[in-house]
Amino acid sequence: MSQVEAVGPSRPQTVAAGPRRGTPAGFLALFLSELGLTFRRMRTIALLGVLALVPILIGVVVKIETGDTNGRGGGPAFIAQVTQNGVFLAFTALVVSLPVFLPMTVGVVAGDSVAGEATSGTLRYLLVAPAGRTRLLAAKFAAAMAFCVAATLAVALSALLIGSILFPLGQVTLLSGDTISLGSALLRVVLICAVVALSLAGLVAIGLFVSTLTGSGIAAMATTVGLVIIVQVLDSFPQLHAVQPWLFTHHWLSFADLLRKPMYWDQVWQNLGLQALYVAVFGSAAWARFTSRDITA
């Protein structure tokens, strides 16, 4: 059976024409190839490392500050909760990372997904393989979403580790004042990580669309990250309250409602529904561009 070898600095592996196109096995092989490409890059590892450092810095600073005040605590509610239970450092780290650090790293990965390979010349080898542009685009989206999960877990797991070292563990007091067991709190960490990762789906679709518009990976990454910054700025102006609920960043911090008893899901569902809308719109735009234009030229 014939094979097409995808040579180049960013995709050294061989893409086999083994699984028939249009089959689940064929898509799985393509997805695993994209997944390996994403997580083998030193840039991806470095981004995950930076994200893992964020909760460590937060934990050390909080520990120093509480030591200087002889344990009196103080500060915002999330920070005060961290001093009482290390599990809350995971929630605090996600609150700090979601507006800036997480979307910037996701913007880099999503923005480079197509344009980066067009720049290196490996994309044209993929397109002559029996994969199909639609399936290739879907695999790249799935790989970028896998990075969203990995990035969120990097923050949460690092926070849990450093939180257990610097602060006491035990029953967790929620924002509503109710107390839950440590096991229930860890389950909420898992649930919130899933919500945060899905909250970045709209950004992934935007980055993928931008990546199909240019053959420069750097330009696509810069544009995607720049859009995140612009939307965050627009979301801070009270005069734009009419359009702010439609901005993909507006409901990102709605996961805080899951730190209550009972959990409030209204804002969370609005967030996930809005992300699905962005995926549908910008995913369709990316598909239209990717399947109709010669982006490898």
pLDDT tens-digit map of 218-230: 888 899 999 999 9
pLDDT top residue among 14 and 215 = 215
Tell me the pTM: 0.84
The residue type found at 239 is Q
pLDDT tens digits, one per residue of 70-84: 444 444 556 667 878
Give the separation between CA 219 and CA 221, rounded to whole angstroms.
6
Residue (of 17, 14, 49) closest to 33 by Cα position: 14
Peptide bond into 262 cis (omega under 30): yes
C-alpha–C-alpha distance, residues 9 and 256, integer Å: 42
Higher confidence at residue 15 or residue 160?
Answer: 160
Of 185, 160, 29, residue with least CA distance to 90 = 160
Banded model confidence at residue 60, pLDDT cuts 50, 70, 90? very high
Question: Among 114, 105, 127, which residue's Cα sits nearest to residue 225?
Answer: 105
Rounded-to-integer distance, Cα 206 and Cα 246, Å: 14
pLDDT confidence of residue 14: 41
- State the maximum Cα–Cα separation within the chain, in Å, rounded to a whole number: 71
Element (H, E) at 5: strand 3-5
**In this predicted model, what pLDDT tens digit does every residue of 145-188 receive, in sequence order?**
999 999 999 999 999 999 999 998 888 888 888 899 999 999 99
What mean pLDDT is predicted for residues 236-250? 91
The Cβ of residue 9 has, within 10 Å, a number of other Cβ atoms equal to 8
In terms of Cβ atoms closer than 10 Å to its own Cβ (0-12, 13-18, 19+), residue 214 is middle
Instruction: Report pLDDT for 125.
Output: 52
